[in-house]
Amino acid sequence: MRILYISKSVIPSRSANSIHVMKMCQAFSDNGHEVVLLAPKIIGKYENKVTNIYKYYGVKKNFQVKKIWHPNIKSGAIIYTLAIFFYLFFAKRFNLIYGRFLHGCYISTLFNYNVIYESHTPIFYNKNYNVFIFKQLIQNKYFKKMIVISQALKDVYLKKGYLSDSKIKVAHDGADEVINFNQKIDLMGKKKNLKVGYVGHLYKGKGMEIISSISDKLDDDVEIHIIGGMEKDINYWKNKVRSKNIYFYGFIPHKHIGNYINSLDICLLPNQKIIHTYGSDVSRRSVNISNFTSPLKLFEYMSHKKAIIASDLPVLKEVLNHKNSILVKHNNESLWLRSIKKLKSKKNRKLISEKALKDFYKFTWKNRAIKVVKNL
């Protein structure tokens, strides 16, 4: 099948959505499809000094990336949509349009293309014209189904009554299968110490609140390693944390993240009850993604056979349970400390990490790519 993936992700960038898009395109191609990815060409938004986007994301060059003009202005999305229209007008025919860019998916139906739209947040939390476009899309006969990243998000859509159960499919996020668990890097600190790690952004709600509060209460032979984050967030937490057993590594390109995870003994997923999307103006926007998120790091932890301690939130329990992880109340310091102490035991770590890896295999990117286009 010839698939066009329409995205609004800036590629290359540090965003999780750009990783998701690149991994899915690779997975579609791995499954035997011919794939073209459309992405916006926004001057000044790209990650600096990236000469090869495939290597940057650690994906095969088995699909084509086509960048289309998107001016870096407030109304740029409208121009990008028009550019997609003209691309479709002249492009060789595709069998399927798949995408996370609502307007691009809707435009595709005007060319009589079968369309699958993927949503990671409720569309009706956005501007009214987005809701109008969404309604036009789902009422079109060429709209096949919508993919959402959690059952919780599906329930939100079903409650609104826009779509029937059969038109919404849950496909949690994923990760690549790990080939070599022994490919590691030398972390800071003492080699004999227990290495507890967190991977990802450090903005409010992602869990640095609880990590910072427990860091100076850990035993002397336990270290915390923070991999990721923007400079302003790292500086904020460095000034706030008083402990000497916490190490910050800053942004690491995604292709190297696996080596860091391999070097950890325990991985933390301390999501809080309120998380706003990165870069959003919290004072103006009320989108709380904590209720329906599907964190990439969760599946990467599982794929690397790691012992996971995670917040006991309903959406995370769609994947995690008390056999493949330790689940604790998101803001209970004593429970987080007790769980880390419990996992000082190699036996305890092995028990839940092996179950996590076994449960992971249904969440590979390749399996996800098969699932989302099944029964078209």
Question: Strand, coil or helix: what is 325?
Answer: coil
Let me know if residue 336 belongs to a domain.
Answer: yes
Q: Are residues 140 and 232 in the same domain?
A: no
Which of 170, 185, 219 terminates a domain? The answer is: 170
Question: Which CATH number is 226's domain given?
Answer: 3.40.50.2000
Task: Specify the DSSP class assigned to residue 290.
Answer: G
Confidence (pLDDT) at 283: 38
Same domain, 220 and 115: no
Same domain, 258 and 301: yes
In a domain, 189, yes or no: no
| Structure tokens that stand for 9 in this block | 């992700």
Integer-rounded Cα Rg, in Å, for the chain is 21
Domain boundary among 107, 138, 170: 170
- Domain span at residue 332 reads 194-362
**Considering only CA atoms, which of 40, 34, 88, 32 is closest in space to residue 63?**
34
Number of residues written out for the chain: 376
φ, ψ (nearest 5 deg) of residue 198? -135, 135
Residue 205 amino acid letter: G
Residue 210, C-beta contacts closer than 8 angstroms, at least 6 positions apart: 270, 272, 330, 331, 333, 336
**Pair 123, 199 in one domain:** no
The answer to whether residues 207 and 99 belong to one domain is no
d(CA 245, CA 221): 9
Task: Please check whether residue 253 lies inside any domain of the structure.
Answer: yes
| Helix H or strand E segment including 347 | helix 346-360
Helical axes 102-109 vs 76-90, angle rounded to 10°: 40
259 and 137 both lie in a single domain: no
Q: Which stretches does DSSP call E strand in the chain?
A: 2-6, 34-41, 64-69, 96-99, 115-119, 143-148, 168-170, 194-199, 222-227, 246-250, 266-269, 307-311, 326-328
Geometric angle at alpha carbon 155, from 152 and 158, rounded to 5°: 160
Predicted local confidence at residue 288, as pLDDT: 83
pLDDT value of position 277: 65
- Residue 208 and residue 307 share a domain: yes
Cβ neighbours around 271 below 10 Å, total:
25
What sign for the dihedral angle of Cα 99, 104, 109, 113?
negative
- Cα–Cα dist 227/266, whole Å: 13
Q: List the structure tokens of 145.
A: 């189904």
**Three-class SS state of 139:** coil
Q: Which residues of 232-241 are buried (b: 16+ CB within 10 A; e: fewer)?
A: ebbebbeeeb
Residue 272 lies inside a defined structural domain of this protein: yes
Number of H helices, E strands in the chain: 13, 13
Which amino acid makes up residue 3? I
- Which of 170, 205, 237 finishes a domain? 170
On whether both 203 and 340 belong to a single domain, the answer is yes
**Strand bridging mode 96-99 / 2-6:** parallel
Q: What is the pLDDT along the chain (376 residues), one digit of tens a residue?
A: 999 999 999 999 999 999 999 999 999 999 999 999 999 999 888 998 899 999 999 999 999 999 999 998 888 899 999 999 999 999 999 999 999 999 999 999 999 999 999 999 998 766 677 899 999 999 999 999 999 999 999 999 999 998 999 999 999 999 999 989 999 999 999 999 999 999 999 998 999 999 999 999 999 999 999 999 999 999 999 999 988 899 999 999 999 999 999 999 999 999 999 987 654 444 344 578 899 999 999 999 999 999 999 999 999 999 999 999 999 999 999 999 999 999 999 999 999 999 999 999 999 999 999 999 998 7
Specify if 166 maps to a domain.
yes
Asked whether residue 103 is assigned to any structural domain, the reply reads yes
Instruction: Give the pLDDT confidence of 215-272 residue by residue, as tens digits.
Output: 999 999 999 999 999 999 999 999 999 888 999 999 999 999 999 999 999 999 999 9
Domain count, the chain: 2
255 and 150 within one domain:
no
3-state secondary structure of 297: helix
Do 145 and 265 reside in the same domain of the chain? no
Query: Sheet of 96-99: strands edge to edge?
Result: 64-69, 34-41, 2-6, 96-99, 115-119, 143-148, 168-170
| Three-class SS state of 345 | coil
pLDDT computed for residue 278 by the predictor: 57
